[in-house]
Amino acid sequence: MKNLIIRRRKSGILIVMILLFLFSANISHADARLPDWVLFQQGMSFFSQRKYGDAFRLFRLATENNDHPEAEYWIGRIFENEGQHALALRQFERALSIEYRASSPDFHILVRQSIADIYKHQQRYDLFERTLVNLINDVKRATNTDMRYEQVLGDRILDLGLDRLIFYFRYELDSLIRPYGELGTHYFKTARDRDAIENLTSAVTIIFSRLIEVKREYNPRYEYRNTRTLILEAERNNRTREFLIESGLYQYLFFLALSLDSFGELRHARPILETLAESSVRNNFTDISLRIKNNNFSVSYMDMVKRAFRAN
C-alpha cells in the first residue's frame, strides 16, 4: 500500500510537470516580445482569476531572460494551490536565493512566511518554528529593534492587561504581524503559554498601533481610550473593519486570551473575550468567545475549548 501511494504521488507530480511543459511550449511570439514586468503583471491577473496554466506560462516567460524572484515565487504559489507542496517549496527557495533582485525590500519576508506555511502543512513543525523565529529576529536586527521586545510586551501585558499595554506601547513592524501571530498560535497549541503570550501580544500590539495611526489620519486629535472602544468603532468603518479581519486580529486576540487564562491570568483574559463576544464581525473566534461569556467563563468550559483547539 505504501509503495502504491508513493507511485501515485510521483505520477501526480509527473502529470503536473508535463502539463506545465506543454503550457510553456505554447508561448506566443507576441508574448515573447513583451517586457518582463508586463508579463509578470499579466500573469498576476490570470493568477487572481485562478487561471493557473496561463499564469504559469507568463511567469515562466518572465524568467527566461533575467532572474525574476517575484515570478519564481508566484510559480511556487501555483504549485501550492495545486497541492504540489514539495515543488512549491523548491520554487520558494529559488525565489529566496535571488531575492536581492526583488523590487520590494520586504519580499524575503513574504517568501519565508510561505516556506513556513509549507512546513506547517507538511507537519514539520520544528522547521516551521525555526523559519519564523529566524525571520522575526532578522527583521528586528535590520530595523535596530530591541531583540527582547516580545519579552518586554509579554511582561507588560501580564502586569497591566491589554488596554493599558496599548496605552503605553507601540510596535510598528507591520510585516511581522503574521509571523508573530502564526508563531504565537503554534505555541498556544503546543501548550507553551508564556511564548504564546509574548508572540501574540506582539502581533496584536502591531495591529492596534497601525489602527490608532489610521484613526489619527481621519482625526488628528483622536485619543485612545481602550481596545474595546477602538475595535467596535473600527468595525463601523469599511476600511478599518476590513483591516481588522485581514490582519488576523480576532484569531490572535482569541488565542492570546486562552493563553493568558492558561497562564493563570483570567483577569486579563476575560476583558479580551468579552470584547470579542460584543464584536459585530461574526466568525469562529467571536462566536466561541460569546459562548464562553454565556457560560460565565467557567473553568470547565474554558478547559474544554482549549483542549479542542490544542487537539487540532
Q: What is the pLDDT of residues 233-251, one digit of tens each?
A: 999 999 999 999 999 999 9
> Grid coordinates representing 6?
508513493
pLDDT of residue 34: 84
Q: How confident is the model at residue 25 (pLDDT cuts 50, 70, 90)?
A: very low
Which DSSP category does 312 fall into? Answer: -
- Do 280 and 214 meet the contact criterion of CB atoms below 8 Å apart? no
pLDDT in tens, 180-217: 999 999 999 999 999 999 999 999 999 999 999 999 99
Share of the chain above pLDDT 90, in %: 87
3-state SS assignment for residue 192: coil
Global pTM?
0.88
Residue ranges in the chain assigned as alpha helix (H): 2-25, 29-32, 36-48, 52-62, 69-81, 85-97, 107-121, 125-142, 149-160, 162-168, 177-189, 193-218, 227-234, 238-247, 249-262, 266-278, 284-294, 299-310
pLDDT in tens, 279-297: 999 999 999 999 999 999 9
Number of other CB atoms surrounding residue 48 within 10 Å = 9
Angle in degrees, CA 182, 184, 186, rounded to 5: 70
- pLDDT beyond 90 at 125: yes
**CA dihedral of residues 307, 177, 242, 103 (deg, nearest 10):** -140
Q: How confident is the model at residue 14 (pLDDT cuts 50, 70, 90)?
A: very low
Q: Which of 215, 235, 233 is nearest to 223 (CA)?
A: 215
> Grid coordinates representing 151?
519579552
pLDDT in tens, 153-183: 999 999 999 999 999 999 999 999 999 999 9
- Do 78 and 19 meet the contact criterion of CB atoms below 8 Å apart? no
- pLDDT beyond 70 at 122: yes
> Grid coordinates representing 160?
497591566
Q: How confident is the model at residue 31 (pLDDT cuts 50, 70, 90)?
A: low
